[in-house]
């Protein structure tokens, strides 16, 4: 029998807006569960994105990336600070009269702290589960019989595609006006590695994988479909593989969310579908994520790993103490499962969230009037009820 590890270090990057509030809640739950289990969790904090820019003049410091590589897990709040919108939009190089139109290929990792972390840590696998919580079924836009029991996982490729592809830029045209472009670029190797994670996840779930693309229009979609099919046929004949065009996938996800198990998509399409899946949960504030550099065999910790709620920085409600902390708390559950390889503790947190939703306080996005702190403490109490004495 292998001995369970009992010491972990977590780097906490609150980021912007409600980010620091929700990670505060996540850390409280993390430490409460750890203490009860006799685990030692060391918390280190650093700044990310707007908060980092203000202090250090960069959206993500080299030191932060280096530390993120060393620790057992990174907990991220949210990035996005409206104060930098103009700065980011303005960055276009002027073109001299009579010369070729020049372009700035701005590195997305230079304008977004989270993008830099994803790229530098090579956490290409974005695991974004969404399910219909029984207590919130009435709050979803779906009829209960359509959504009840829905339980899916969007697996989003995070380090390639339109987010990072070259060429990209905004250029001034010699004749006046500007032109902007991005490129959806994928190598076979990039598609293969994310497809394998998709098939492995499907094996741990209901053995169904839906791969999403625009193979009817895009070259990158054609290669995507071919490579995913080949891997499926060669290595995972036990997993039922289906392909949908992305538009149809969005439609079917709204029509019959219970039909989905694992949904594999590229960076951009996965971004869209994972937000859409939030409607199934009743609030975008409910959705957790884990961004991993691959899926190790069960029982082994994934490292490095970023754990973050899917929602954004919500500057409109920042500082009011009313943000829904459950997406972050469920991200902490994913940290226990994937980062620490302690799935039983992940289940305990998920059960506690489920029970709290049934009877406990709710934040405004869930139809209640409670603050984040009341909801967080109710989850911690519920974790205690189900933990060992
Ligand atoms: C997400 C977010 C990010 C993304 C933004 C904040 C860069 O929407 O994690 O889904 O587009 O990937
Ligand atoms: Mg998104």
Q: Given this model, what pLDDT does residue 304 score?
A: 94
Structure tokens at 265: 């998509």
Q: How far is the CA of 1 from the centre of ligand 2 (A)?
A: 41
**For residue 169, is it within any domain?**
yes
**For residue 377, is it within any domain?**
yes
**For residue 193, is it within any domain?**
yes
Q: Which atom of ligand 1 is nearest to the CA of 118?
A: 12
How far apart are the C-alpha atoms of 137 and 142, rounded to whole Å?
Answer: 8
Coil, helix or strand for 95? Answer: coil
Percent above pLDDT 90 for the chain: 87
> For the chain, what is the mean pLDDT?
93
Residues 46-75, mean pLDDT to the nearest whole number: 96
Residue 303 sits in a domain whose CATH number is 3.40.718.10
**pLDDT tens per residue across span 252-280:** 999 999 999 999 999 999 999 999 999 99
Residues 88-116, mean pLDDT to the nearest whole number: 61
**Containing domain of residue 327, as a range?**
7-385
Is the shortest distance between the CB of 268 and ligand 1 below 6 Å? no
**For residue 313, is it within any domain?**
yes
Q: Give residue 368's pLDDT band: very low, low, confident or very high (50, 70, 90).
A: very high
**pLDDT tens per residue across span 284-319:** 999 999 999 999 998 999 999 999 999 999 999 999
Model's pTM, two decimal places?
0.94
How far apart are the C-alpha atoms of 174 and 163, rounded to whole Å?
Answer: 27
Q: Is 35 a catalytic residue?
A: no
Q: Would you list the DSSP string of 150-189?
A: -EEEEEEE-SSGGGT-SS-EEEE-TTSSEEEE------HH
Whether the pLDDT of residue 109 is over 90: the answer is: no
**For residue 2, is it within any domain?**
no
How far apart are the C-alpha atoms of 225 and 314, rounded to whole Å?
Answer: 36
**For residue 184, is it within any domain?**
yes
Is the shortest distance between the CB of 81 and ligand 1 below 6 Å? no
Q: Given this model, what pLDDT does residue 99 score?
A: 39
Structure tokens at 131: 């399910």
- The structural domain count of the chain equals 1
Mean pLDDT is lowest, of 72-86, 145-159, 332-346, for 72-86
**For residue 236, is it within any domain?**
yes
Residues 374-383, mean pLDDT to the nearest whole number: 98
Is the shortest distance between the CB of 160 and ligand 1 below 6 Å? no
Q: Given this model, what pLDDT does residue 93 score?
A: 45
Q: Given this model, what pLDDT does residue 104 score?
A: 54
Residues 130-139, mean pLDDT to the nearest whole number: 96
Q: Given this model, what pLDDT does residue 110 score?
A: 81
Q: How far is the CA of 274 from the centre of ligand 2 (A)?
A: 7
**For residue 360, is it within any domain?**
yes
Please name the residue ranges forming H helices in 216-266: 219-235, 246-255
């Amino acid at each position: 029998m292998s001995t369970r590890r009992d010491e972990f270090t977590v780097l906490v990057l609150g980021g912007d807006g409600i980010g620091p509030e929700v990670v505060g809640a996540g850390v409280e739950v993390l430490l409460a569960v750890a203490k009860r289990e006799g685990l030692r969790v060391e918390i280190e904090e650093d700044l990310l994105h707007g908060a980092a820019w203000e202090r250090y003049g960069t959206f993500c410091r080299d030191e932060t990336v280096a530390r993120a590589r060393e620790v057992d897990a990174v907990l991220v709040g949210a990035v996005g600070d409206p104060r930098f919108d103009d700065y980011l939009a303005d960055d276009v190089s002027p073109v001299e009269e009579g010369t070729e139109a020049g372009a700035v290929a701005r590195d997305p990792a230079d304008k977004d702290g989270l993008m830099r972390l994803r790229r530098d840590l090579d956490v290409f696998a974005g695991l974004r589960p969404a399910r219909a919580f029984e207590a919130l079924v009435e709050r979803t836009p779906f009829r209960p019989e359509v959504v009840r029991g829905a339980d899916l996982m969007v697996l989003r490729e995070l380090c390639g595609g339109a987010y990072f592809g070259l060429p990209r830029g905004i250029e001034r045209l010699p004749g006046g006006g500007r032109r902007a472009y991005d490129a959806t670029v994928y190598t076979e190797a990039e598609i293969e590695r994310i497809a394998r994670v998709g098939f492995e996840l499907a094996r741990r779930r209901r053995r169904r994988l839906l791969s999403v693309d625009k193979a009817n229009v895009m070259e990158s979609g054609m290669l995507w479909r071919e490579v995913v099919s080949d891997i499926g046929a060669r290595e995972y004949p036990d997993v039922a593989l289906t392909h949908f065009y992305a538009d149809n996938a969005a439609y079917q996800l709204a029509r019959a969310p219970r039909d989905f198990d694992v949904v594999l998509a590229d960076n951009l399409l996965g971004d869209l579908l994972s937000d859409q899946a939030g409607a199934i949960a009743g609030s975008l504030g409910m959705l957790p994520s884990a961004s991993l550099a691959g899926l190790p065999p069960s029982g082994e910790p994934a490292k490095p790993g970023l754990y973050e709620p899917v929602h954004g920085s919500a500057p409109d409600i920042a500082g009011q103490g009313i943000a829904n902390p459950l997406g972050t708390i469920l991200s902490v559950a994913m940290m226990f499962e994937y980062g620490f390889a302690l799935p039983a503790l992940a289940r305990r947190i998920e059960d506690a969230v489920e029970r709290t939703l049934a009877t406990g306080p709710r934040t405004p996005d869930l139809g209640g009037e409670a603050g984040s702190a009341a909801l967080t403490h109710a989850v911690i109490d519920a974790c205690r009820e189900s933990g060992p004495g």
